Amino acid sequence: MRQSDDQLSAYYAARAEEYDRVYDKPERQTDLARLQQLIPSYFVDRIVLEIACGTGYWTQFTAPVARTVTAIDINPETLAIARSRAFPPNRVKFDVADVHCLPPHYKRFTGAFAGFWWSHMRRADRQPFLKVLHRALMPGAIVVAVDNRYVERSSTPISLIDADGNSFQRRRLADGSEHVVLKNFPTELELMAEIRGDGTAAEYMPLEYYWVLKYEVAA
């Protein structure tokens, strides 16, 4: 089974109004509080590119400390919610953009953040994505990725795995519609292998429900 990017985009467009409910799970609040403090600390006074920003949930934590944030997403529906949030004046710009084909004028960013995006890439697409991302970044730029760990009784069960090792979940939205969604759970070893050669000073931090990967773009 191969889910297209259009199918994934359509799912998140349909989910836009209920997008942030995932952050309401009671058992995850300790981890989330830690992330809300940790993530901004990496981007103080940096020119940040935020990948797949969705509703701007994480943008609201980085914008107050970053020099600027350019936050992109493929879905106008989620970006409409993001734009409705309050941000420091002249600090945040939202763009509709494809993370696999960034605009050519995206250059010289000194930080990049990808929240809950790594898990929605097919395994074979991760390194090509990183090549595109790194072209938009300065040497020494900080890259931070945050995503889910698979935790029984908290995570949505995996419903199938395709021939390439990609895993999928069945998700039901508030309108009753069901969607099969690509959701991979990469290991620390996989992540480190994917950035090898392009990333230095890499650090992997496992929390109970999430993981954080931080590294610098090699010169």
What's the rounded mean pLDDT across residues 19-43? 93
Per residue in 102-156, pLDDT (tens digit) is 999 999 999 999 999 999 999 999 999 999 999 999 999 999 999 999 999 899 9
pLDDT at 14 over 80: no
pLDDT at 12 over 90: no
CATH of the domain at 182: 3.40.50.150
**Closest to 177 (Cα-Cα) out of 3, 9, 14:** 14
CB-based burial of residue 137 (10 Å sphere; 0-12 exposed, 13-18 middle, 19+ buried)? buried
pLDDT at 1: 41
Token pair in block for residue 201: 């000073």
**Closest to 174 (Cα-Cα) out of 16, 7, 6, 28:** 16
Count of structural domains, the chain? 1
Alpha-helical (H) ranges within the chain are: 5-14, 29-41, 59-62, 76-83, 126-135, 188-195
CA 150 – CA 209 distance, rounded (Å):
7
What residues make up the domain containing 143?
5-217
pLDDT at 171: 85
pLDDT at 198: 92
Model pTM above 0.75: yes
Per residue in 44-94, pLDDT (tens digit) is 999 999 999 999 999 999 999 999 999 999 989 889 999 999 999 999 999
Per residue in 143-191, pLDDT (tens digit) is 999 999 999 989 999 999 999 999 999 988 778 888 888 999 999 999 9
For strands 68-73 and 92-96, give the pairing.
parallel
pLDDT at 50: 98
> Using only C-alpha atoms, what is the Rg of the chain?
16
pLDDT at 19 over 50: yes
Q: Residue 6: which pLDDT band, with cuts at 50, 70 and 90?
A: low
CA 109 – CA 175 distance, rounded (Å):
39
Do the beta carbons of residue 85 and residue 56 sit within 8 Å? Answer: yes
pLDDT at 3: 45
> In the chain, pLDDT over 70 holds for what percent of residues?
91
The count of other CB atoms within 10 Å of the CB of residue 19 is 18
